[in-house]
Amino acid sequence: MSPKVLIIDDDPGIRATFTEILTSFGCEVETSADGESALHAIKQQAYEVVFVDYRLPNVDGMEILSEVKALHPETEVVLITGEGSEQLVRTAFKSGALDYITKPVRMADLEIVVHQALERQRLRRENQELRRQNRDLKTLIDSKYSFKSIIGSTAEMRRIFDLVKRVAPTRSTILLTGDSGTGKELIARAIHRESDRAEKPFVAVNCGALPDNLLEDELFGHVRGAFTDAVADRVGRFEQADRGTLFLDEIGNMSQNLQVKLLRVLQEREFSPVGSARHVSVDVRIIAATNSDLKDEMEAKRFREDLYYRLNVIHVRLPRLSERREDLPLLINHFLQECCSENRRGPKVWSPAALRALLTFDWPGNVRQLENVIERAVALSGDRSVLDIEDLADEIRERGGSERPEIRLEGDGIALDRVVGSFEEKLLLQALERSGWVKTRAAKLLNIKRTTLIEKMKRLGIPLRYDQREIPSV
């Protein structure tokens, strides 16, 4: 968009000269020959730059300067004057003028002032855009890493949310346990966002991804010359997280040697970079996570007992997705909307077969696996509005692709309860789909009472509150 510039001068020659120069700079130029018409124009809209003659009929240039700054503080004002006295210049600058030009106007002076004014406006626009982007990014981070963004309505998840909300404002160390893919880092980030450290760094380190020597360097940093490739000082993750939160993922994989050093940091709140004798004091809130049983690791002498109790001030265990099946419809809905939005795809819904497969799968990879499966389905669907079972991964499709359970009576026999339960689950799902998930209608299709249907759904882990009329869409 071209910068808008207003030239206010009763001399038509000045107006013409300024217009020619400013137009060559790509500006959209308007002119006024007197103060009254100029004030009217200024009240109607904002200009990037205003050039105003000090002496004008009816209203002088200083009055216009004051009015511009009162209405539009970010507008740059350049005074045109035939006097150029020190007192006038001082008053103009004090009133907010960017610069002044003396008559007769020299072309070189005018070009310098125009360039200065336009450059100031360009930098101001860039700063405004950066501030807007920062606000948008903060809003995105706050929404993504808050408890409101974590999907879960089961009693266990509500209990977890209540616990972490209560401990988030404290500085207590937190230990998160649970299988891979259950959302430990998401919970850790939400705790950070809800704490008084939210404006400070959240630093994550995967303790299982690095060998012992590299992990020590990653955590504590080093000084130049500490080892062969240490050509410069390096700040470690502890120091980067000062006054913020350090998330130590897969803490169970940390070596005994590093466990001792980590214990010292937790106790003393200080450490020494690799190769240095100096002590660095830090104020860091520790959130640790593991998918292994640390009590088993302690019994096997692979994890220090004293460190365990230092980390395990607040213990939060995240359940497997198979333990919170009632959240499946909510999660399926959420990830479908998110994936369609991120991939710029139109509204999509699930076919009954695809939805049945998603709802009945065991999800050993937990929430992360569910998200990846839905992302894959959206990517493969192209412009189709219906996501079918063929869009799902083989392991999901095999579980939900057949209406009849495969029954084989072999040498050791079968688990009758399991086979009957599987067949009963498929019949219930089929009835629910056919009835639009209206339980009364589904019960009639199966010739059972509605209360019996609900009891069976609970026993089989079929979500009670899912309504097919609310098939996920964007």
Q: Which pLDDT band holds residue 407 (cuts at 50, 70, 90)?
A: very low
Quick check: 107 pLDDT over 70?
yes
Rounded mean pLDDT of 234-261?
93
Q: Which pLDDT band holds residue 405 (cuts at 50, 70, 90)?
A: very low
Residue 105 makes CB contacts below 8 A (sequence gap 6+) with: 14, 17, 80
Quick check: 149 pLDDT over 90?
no
Residue 412 has a pLDDT of 55
Q: Which pLDDT band holds residue 370 (cuts at 50, 70, 90)?
A: very high
Q: Which pLDDT band holds residue 466 (cuts at 50, 70, 90)?
A: low
Residue 404 has a pLDDT of 42
Residue 472 has a pLDDT of 38
* Out of 61-65, 91-95, 266-270, 415-419, least confident range: 415-419
- 416 vs 321, residue with greater confidence: 321
**Structural domains of the chain ordered from first start:** 4-125 (3.40.50.2300), 147-319 (3.40.50.300), 325-470 (1.10.8.60)
State pLDDT tens for residues 279-312: 899 999 999 999 999 999 999 999 999 999 999 9
Rounded mean pLDDT of 171-189?
93
Residue 414 has a pLDDT of 54
* Out of 116-120, 214-218, 374-378, least confident range: 116-120
Rounded mean pLDDT of 344-354?
81
Quick check: 205 pLDDT over 50?
yes
Residue 298 has a pLDDT of 92
- 400 vs 119, residue with greater confidence: 119
Residue 354 has a pLDDT of 86
CA torsion sign for 172, 176, 181, 183 is negative
Quick check: 86 pLDDT over 80?
no
Structure pTM?
0.57
Quick check: 231 pLDDT over 80?
yes
Quick check: 133 pLDDT over 80?
no
